[in-house]
């Protein structure tokens, strides 16, 4: 897995250099593209295992690059953004980006996102029992245990936890969660139900619901279930 090839699309040489050095040190091979067009061409020719895509590119919008890539490929894409454009983030995530990371970021964060995004492709249902922190989720028997004690969840709470667990480590936008838990016909305006159920769920599975450690809120974006391996970096 560590032989994965990563394409970096960013117009800033400094950022590309930083990413290249760090990713190489972690055993990945990297390719660099400075513009959106270059990125698209390289993505097509090199078929990378993962793309790190900056949203603000000089020639075309990052979201447009993402759209074109998604036209023919399911390659994991991690978005790089600056702090203050939640709308862009959510748009990219709703349009096929796997995850995002906000500049300035720590390398630990970046490596965790990359690992989760790469593993997501390899994730298969033959792994039906998930362990996240002190939580054990049995997807076949629909059993959730906290520190060995079974937790009683309502169907919606379970569905919510299941969706988060299947994408564990990855951020899920409000819309993605609403669609996958409540169905296609759900509306953005119903997102307060989502918040209520996340609250209920936290009360049942978190040690201290006021300081959640398992279901993390990404303000303005969505929720993320802690990745099982997030603690080791």
Partner 1 sequence: MPWVVVSAPTRPGSWFEGRAFLAATLLVAILTGILWESRHVFLIINIALLYLLPVLIVALRWGIWPAIYAAGLAVLVFDSLFVPPVFRYTVADFRYLIVFTVFLAVAALTASLAGTLRRQMHEALRREALTSSLYELSRQMAAVRDLETLLDEVARHVSRTFATPVPVMIALPDAHDQLRIAVRTPVIDSGYRVNANVLEWVYRHGEQAGFGENKNTELLYIPLKTENKVHGVMCIGEYGVGTVFNSEQLRIVEALAGVAAVSIARMHYEEEAKLSHLMAESERLRTALLDSISHELRTPLATIIGSVTGLLEGMDILSLADQRELLATIREGSMRMNRLITNLLGMVRLESGMLRLHRQSNDMADMIGVALRQVQDALSRRRVTVNIPDDLPPLDVDDVLIDQVLTNLLSNAVKYSPDGSEINIEVEFSADTMTLAIQDFGIGIQPMEADKLFDKFYRSPTVQHIPGTGLGLAICKGIIRAHGGTIKARRGTPRGTVMTIELPLETRLMKEKES
192: contact with partner 1 by CB under 8 A: yes
21: contact with partner 1 by CB under 8 A: no
Please report the sign of the dihedral spanned by the C-alpha atoms of residue 63, residue 66, residue 70, residue 75: negative
Residues in CB range of 167: below 8 A, 6 or more apart: 120, 225
When binding is defined by CB under 8 A, the residue of 74, 87, 150, 233 that contacts partner 1 is 87
233: contact with partner 1 by CB under 8 A: no
191: contact with partner 1 by CB under 8 A: yes
124: contact with partner 1 by CB under 8 A: no
Question: In whole angstroms, how close is the CB of 50 to partner 1 at the nearest point?
Answer: 26
């990378």: which residue's tokens? 48
Residue 225's beta-bridge partner residues?
215
């997030």: which residue's tokens? 230
Range in contact with partner 1 (rule: CB under 8 A) among 1-9, 39-47, 79-87, 115-123:
79-87
Question: In whole angstroms, how close is the CB of 36 to partner 1 at the nearest point?
Answer: 25
Residue 60 CA to residue 65 CA, distance in Å, equals 7
Residue 229 vs residues 72, 132, 211, 224: alpha-carbon distances, Å: 31, 9, 20, 14
Ranges within 89-118 binding partner 1 (CB under 8 A): 104
220: contact with partner 1 by CB under 8 A: yes
Question: What does the binding site for partner 1 look like in residue numbers (CB under 8 A)?
Answer: 83-84, 86-87, 104, 189, 191-192, 195-196, 198-199, 209-212, 216-217, 219-220
């Amino acid at each position: 897995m560590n032989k994965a090839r990563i394409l970096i699309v960013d117009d800033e040489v400094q950022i590309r250099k930083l990413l290249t050095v760090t990713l190489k040190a972690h055993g990945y091979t990297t390719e660099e593209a400075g513009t959106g067009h270059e990125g698209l061409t390289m993505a097509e020719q090199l078929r990378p295992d993962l793309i790190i895509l900056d949203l603000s590119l000089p020639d075309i919008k990052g979201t447009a690059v993402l759209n074109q890539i998604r036209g023919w490929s399911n390659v994991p894409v991690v978005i790089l953004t600056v702090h203050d454009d939640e709308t862009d983030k959510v748009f990219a995530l709703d349009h096929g980006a796997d995850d995002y990371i906000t500049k300035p970021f720590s390398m630990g964060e970046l490596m965790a996102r990359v690992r989760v995004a790469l593993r997501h492709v390899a994730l298969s249902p033959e792994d039906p029992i998930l362990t996240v922190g002190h939580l054990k989720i049995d997807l076949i028997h629909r059993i959730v245990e906290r520190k060995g004690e079974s937790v009683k969840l309502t169907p919606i709470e379970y569905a919510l936890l299941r969706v988060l667990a299947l994408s564990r480590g990855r951020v899920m936008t409000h819309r993605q969660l609403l669609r996958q838990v409540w169905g296609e016909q759900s509306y953005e305006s119903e997102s307060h139900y989502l918040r209520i159920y996340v609250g209920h769920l936290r009360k049942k599975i978190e040690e201290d619901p006021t300081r959640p450690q398992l279901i993390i809120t990404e303000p303005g974006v969505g929720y993320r279930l802690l990745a099982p391996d997030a603690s080791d970096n």
